[in-house]
Amino acid sequence: MEKVRELAAQYQQAGNNCAETVVKVCNDCLDLKLPPETLRMVSVLGGGVAGSGCLCGALNGACLVLGCLVGRTTPEEKTKAEVNQPVREFQKIWLDRFHATCCRVLKSPANGGPVSCGDLMADTSAMLIDFIREKKLA
């Protein structure tokens, strides 16, 4: 997992936001072959969705990666429960680790923050790759 953390640091230092970093690290490490359009869509999710401080970009990016792996293209393909179950399971693991999903809360000194975004990106990437491999999703 040291390679994952180093790659996350490289993406962050290159100017990628939290969501971009997590998605790009997973794309590289899991050989997902995501098209450029997918990576472009992720660019608006940094700073808690366009800088609004809402849902953490790292978690949001992780959910999108899971969606790429377990999602559906039509309602007939899979049930909502089948699609949502692994995402909810990962969200719980993530929440148990970081105790909040809101970027603003994670960064707030009043809540024990600020959490280092660099650490959050690296940890989320590593946790997600472990989760995906453990569940044999890729």
> pLDDT of 103-134, one tens digit each?
999 988 776 667 789 999 999 999 999 999 99
Range 85-112 average pLDDT = 92
Does the model's pTM come out above 0.95? Answer: no
Question: Can you read off the two tokens belonging to residue 121?
Answer: 């990106």
User: What pLDDT, on a 0 to 100 scale, did the predictor assign at position 51?
Assistant: 87
Name the domain count of the chain.
1
User: What pLDDT, on a 0 to 100 scale, did the predictor assign at position 110?
Assistant: 75
User: What pLDDT, on a 0 to 100 scale, did the predictor assign at position 34?
Assistant: 95
**CB atoms inside a 10 Å sphere around CB 110:** 6
Domain range enclosing 122: 2-134
* Coil vs helix vs strand at 54: coil
Task: Identify the weakest region by mean pLDDT among 53-57, 61-65, 125-129.
Answer: 53-57
> pLDDT of 23-53, one tens digit each?
999 999 999 999 999 999 999 999 889 988 8
User: What pLDDT, on a 0 to 100 scale, did the predictor assign at position 113?
Assistant: 66
Report which residue type is found at 103: C
In this prediction, what percent of the chain has a pLDDT beyond 70? 97
With CA atoms as reference, report the closest residue to 64 among 13, 105, 27: 27
H and E: helices and strands count for the chain: 7, 0
DSSP codes of every residue in 86-133: HHHHHHHHHHHHHS--BHHHHT-GGGT-PPPHHHHHHHHHHHHHHHHH
Q: How far apart are CA 82 and CA 71, in angstroms?
A: 9
Mean pLDDT over each residue of the chain, to the nearest integer: 94
**Contacts with 36 (C-beta within 8 Å, 6 or more apart), sequence order:** none
